[in-house]
Structure 1
Amino acid sequence: MQPYSGNWTLVTEFVMVGFAGVQEVRHLFFLLFLIMYLFTVAENLAIILVVGLDHRLQRPMYFFLTHLSCLEIWYTSVTVPKMLSGFIGIAGGKTISYAGCLSQLFIFTFLGATECFLLAAMAYDRYVAICEPLRYAALVSWGTCIRLAAASWLLGFLTPILPIYLMTQLTFCSSNVIDHFFCDASPLLALSCSDVTLKETVDFLISLAVLLVSSVVIAVSYGNIVWTLLHINSAAERWKAFSTCAAHLTVVSLFYGTLFFMYVRTKMASSMNFNKVVSVFYSIVTPMLNPLIYSLRNKEVKGALGRTFSLKLFKGS
């Protein structure tokens, strides 16, 4: 960390540029992201409600899906409302305090890492259910589910502690303009007057560890699932199972691909506008797609939604 110089103006708040190049159509972007955000919250709340009310869904798979739905609501709520306020010029919509910025970065990283571990736990659950069905009750007991979920949240919480501590040791001076729509590590480091080599190295290693460990578990689990599905005699059942796996792997690949691009890479030339587009995919698009892919396409969930909301409408009438 460089010593403080009296010629510097220390930064106490930041201004987030957001999508500065779309000012002429900012209201259209505001509407688009608002609809995506409300849809994400609504579909995840529906899953939490229906799993909680329908005893037929009190099973490990839906236990993990409920955790994922809770996480997705918080994950998008950390960044999207602030971004939306910046689009329509609400007072203070583009500014954020130093403490608020680091808090946003901590929570966003915590939830993002937790999602990686939860997706790995869900992949393991599906592997055992499909590849080891006779041992499923023993291998995926309620105790195991609780421990896996607790470990996911705990590891996710521990992930940003060292990176955020190192961020607090940096000095920010002169410019306080963040060329992004939320407080992410890279645009913040670009504003620092300090030597950020250690911080960048730690960020890279921690991101690599989180993404590599969880993605390997997912890849091995789904690899075994696909191998098992190849031996299903019924072509119709095999195609149905493959279509489900393909949908899961598509959304997981989108999530992990964008995260690897943003956080596990060498210093390469990349425009900030392109980085913002990539960030939209893992921070807004995949949280919207996850409930559709993992839950709302499921016949059991569809049936439970019908029973739950039909009953509520009947009671209301």
Structure 2
Amino acid sequence: MNEPGHEQQSAPGKPGEVETTGHVWDGDLREYNNPLPRWWLWSFYATVVFSLIYWLLYPAWPIAGTYTKGIAWINYEVEGESQRSHWNSRALLVRDMQTGDAAVRQREFLQVIAEADHDTVLSDTDMLAFVNSYARGIFGDFCAACHQTGGAGIIGLYPNLADDNWHWGGTIQAIEQTITRGRMGYMPPYRETFDDQQADAVAAYVLSLAGHEGGDPEQVSLGGSIFQGYEGGCYACHGREGLGLKSLGAPNLTNDIWQNIDVTGAPGHAERQALVRDLILRGVQREMPAFGDRLSPAEIRVLATYVHQLGGGL
């Protein structure tokens, strides 16, 4: 293609003829001088005006280590006290969460659930849908760091909430109490009480309570006498039958559900017995903090209902 040439700019001479700029390519390709559409020009002017107004009202220009704050203000509440600040997206979010239509409806539904009995909540599909939606966020903020997103927990550290094994009770009322007041799980260490032979014997007996076969019968018998006797006194918390005591958070030893050690993952009976023996010798001390001062009673009710659905029980 040839380089562009130049000719005298032409003005329209006949109706329908368009003015050219004088630029010509290949002898017959000319650049027309079409004006911009009027609607486009007015739209452009409108965006300029809009940007000027925006720069005046809202945060816009960086200056040194700060920025222009704008002249728009926003009001919101923090812990019941009115606050006023220059407009910003964070303050707007706080206000919308307090006074927005969705926030108002959310508080109203929370109040309805707080005043309803547990059976009504569990049988109402709309209430349960709200519980699952709202409490999932609370669980993610306050519980998932320990109990994991699905409530499965971590063996030896944090209890599994997705099964039906509840040391302190798995009813909604019991879960509400746990969330509100917190829990202190404690079993004293027996390293100063038992020697290795006694610890092995008690471990063998405990495994037999959970249905694990393969233990030495004489060792199991010795462990039973220690468990049931004054020397060990294990029955005081776990009961004569090993069924546990929810008022103390003492686990049921007969259901083969182990929260503190991975017994089912051990390759053989000797390894299982070693895990239980080590737990007996070192004891257990684990605390769940109270959330009564961080969550409202309605939020605790919703969260307890949600956790109960993960794996609640008696």
TM-score, normalised to structure 1, is: 0.21
Greater share of helix: 1
Greater share of strand: 2
Greater relative contact order (Cα < 8 A, sep 6+): 1
Q: Of the two, which has the highest radius of gyration?
A: 2
